[in-house]
Amino acid sequence: MGIRSFEYFKYRSFSGVIADLEEAIKNVMGNKMTPKEFIAGTIKLYQDARLPKFRNTKISRGGAHIIASAAEDLFALFLVDKIKTDHIYINQPMVIEGTKNKNQPDIAILRKGKLVAFCDFKMHLNFNKKTNLPRTSEKQSRWLKAARSKKCTFWVDEDKRSHIVSGRATYDVVILGVGGINSRLLDQQIKKAGKLNPPVKVFVLTSGHRPGGHKHKPKEILNSIGINEKAFRELLIRLNQPK
């Protein structure tokens, strides 16, 4: 996916935007994102989601637009120059050839003609979604076990594509942030996912304030978020492993 696909970063500046966020957006467009700039980009997405897509002084919006798809695009752009990949497929429906076993990973990474890694990208995990992580990780593990060393087929526009899934492919969960969930329960769920066959790794990228907060200025939000640099590093190491 080319950089031109990220038109949502060209919206007019929202009230209170700050220099470091604007610089982050420039770096996003220039394909040079750091973890902090990635988080700043998600703040920008949340802020713009509160504005109407078509502007007029007589129009305002209450509920925000859903930004999950745009955040997946941003995450793929963050990854693309940091991992060994020929292509990243976003939210791509695919089926194991010769079966009806379908899946639609948020991120699928192609390397040397093989699908080597898959990720599900979650914006937020809270108490109300505490049962989603076990279900998600178990589903991922089952599908990966069935797909390894098999060919997957899918369509990109009118182009039918087929790729072998590496016998050592991985499938992981990447969570932007958590809140309102018991940390002990979360640790238990993460450990359980890691014991599946094949295992599913869980990476939590931030703690503290949510990027989607609207009662504070963007700089205050960015400064109140704890960025888990270790999780970012471990994720990139895992995605770069030989497969």
Looking at the predicted structure, is the pLDDT value of residue 20 above 70? no
How far is 92 from 108, CA to CA, in rounded Å? 8
The string of DSSP codes covering 15-63 is TT--HHHHHHHHHHHTT---HHHHHHHHHHHHHHHTS-SS--TT---SS
* Domains in the chain with CATH codes: 66-240 (3.40.1350)
Average pLDDT over residues 172-200: 90
Give the angle subtended at the CA of 182 by the CAs of 177 and 185, to the nearest 5°.
100
Neighbouring residues of 58: CB distance < 8 A, sequence distance ≥ 6 = none
pTM here is: 0.85
Beta bridge partners of 164: 114, 151
| 110-164: pLDDT as tens digits | 999 999 999 999 998 765 555 578 889 999 999 999 999 999 999 999 999 999 9
